[in-house]
Structure formats: C-alpha cells, structure tokens
Amino acid sequence: MTLPSLPTGTKIWIIAGITDMHCGFNGLASKVQNTLKDDPYSGHIFVFRGRFVWPVTREGKSAPDASSVIHATGGDRVVTSQTDRTA
C-alpha cells in the first residue's frame, strides 16, 4: 500500500479515545479548533476514531456480514437487482 505524498511540514494528528461521529464534519472541525487549538483547514490531517469496532475471530481476521457493513457505514445501503440467467 502506498501513501500519497504529502507537502513538507504536513502533520498527521491521531486523536486518541472515542469520538462521537454524529456531529458531522462541522462538529469535527469544531473539535479540532477547541481541543487541539489548530485550524481544521490548515492542510494537516486529523484522524478520529469512532465507537464501532469490527468483531475479530479466533484467527484474528474480521468477516463482517452485510448488516454489520450497513451499520458501520451509517445505514446507507445500495440495493442492486440481479437477473436470473438460466440457460
């Protein structure tokens, strides 16, 4: 996996703890301003962690089902129809 090149001086902030993601982008920008005392539009990267954690199996791998993916993506669901092709 290759990461995109970042401009010189770009900082990556990883916010520890659980962040309420229901506040949206404006709420997260407000948290950057109030908590980190930084400009959310400075070009730095801010990484937040939500509450949801994928279940892990004994092998250390995660195999989420469709309902888990829908829950993790905020309930958005794309339904595609498939036609039965019998010969």
Above 80 in pLDDT, residue 85?
Answer: no
pTM equals 0.52
What pLDDT does 33 receive?
A: 93
What pLDDT does 16 receive?
A: 79
79 domain-assigned: no
85 domain-assigned: no
Residue-number span of the structural domain to which 40 is assigned: 12-72
39 domain-assigned: yes
What pLDDT does 21 receive?
A: 80
The separation between the first and the last C-alpha atoms of the chain, rounded to the nearest angstrom, is 42
**Of 38, 34, 30, 33, nearest in space to 12 by CA:** 38
What pLDDT does 5 receive?
A: 83
Q: Say how many domains are in the chain.
A: 1
pLDDT tens for each residue of 64-84: 667 766 766 666 555 555 555
What pLDDT does 36 receive?
A: 85
